[in-house]
Amino acid sequence: MTPGIRPLVAGNWKMNGLRARLGEIKRVADASDALAPNCDLLLCPPATLTYVATTLAQDTALCIGGQDCHPESSGAHTGDVSAAMLADCFATHVIAGHSERRADHGESDDLVRQKAEAAHAAGLIAIVCVGETRFERENGETIAVVGRQLEGSLPVGATARNTVIAYEPVWAIGTGLTPSLEDIGEVHDFLRQRTETLAPGMRLLYGGSVKPDNAGAIMGVANVDGALVGGASLDAGGFLAIAEATAQPDAP
Catalytic positions, please? 98, 168
- Does 66 interact with ligand G3H (rule: CB under 6 A)? no
Nearest to 199 by CA among 226, 162, 227, 149: 162
Instruction: Establish whether 23 is an annotated binding residue.
Output: no
Q: Which stretch binds ligand G3H (CB under 6 A): 34-42, 73-81, 167-175, 216-224?
A: 167-175
Smallest separation (angstroms) from ligand G3H to the CB of 249: 25
Cβ closest to ligand G3H, residue 9 vs residue 39: 9
Determine, following the binding rule CB under 6 A, whether residue 229 of this chain makes contact with ligand G3H. yes
Q: Is 246 in the site for ligand G3H (CB under 6 A)?
A: no
Which residues, in sequence order, are CB contacts of 19 under 8 Å at separation 6+? 49, 52
Q: Applying CB under 6 A, which part among 49-57, 105-113, 143-151, 207-215 lies near ligand G3H?
A: 207-215
Among 169, 207, 212, 226, binds ligand G3H (CB under 6 A): 207
CA distance 152 to 158: 13
Nearest CA to 98 out of 143, 164, 39, 32 is that of 164
Site string for ligand G3H, 12-41 (x = CB under 6 A): x-----------------------------
- Binding to ligand G3H by CB under 6 A, coded x per residue (else -) over 83-102, reads ---------------x----
Residue 174 interacts with ligand G3H (CB under 6 A): yes or no: yes
Q: How far is the CB of 42 from ligand G3H (least distance, A)?
A: 11
Closest CA to 152 of 170, 133, 128: 128
Stretch that binds ligand G3H, among 104-112, 114-122, 224-232, 238-246 (CB under 6 A): 224-232
Considering beta carbons, is residue 4 or 93 the nearer one to ligand G3H? 93
- Assess 202 for contact with ligand G3H (CB under 6 A): no
Contact call for residue 228 and ligand G3H (CB under 6 A): yes
| H/E stretch holding 143 | helix 142-153
Contact 126, 116 (CB under 8 A): yes
Burial call 145-159: b when 16+ CB within 10 Å, e when fewer: bbbebbeebbbeebe
- Dihedral angle of Cα 131, 125, 199, 129, to the nearest 10 degrees: 0
Looking from the CA of 18 toward its CB, the CA atoms found within 13 Å total 1
Residue 173: alpha-carbon gap to chain centroid: 13
Residues 6+ apart with CB under 8 A from 82: 69, 70, 72, 73, 74, 118, 122
Residues at the site binding ligand G3H, with contacts judged by CB under 6 A: 12, 98, 168, 173-174, 207-210, 228-232
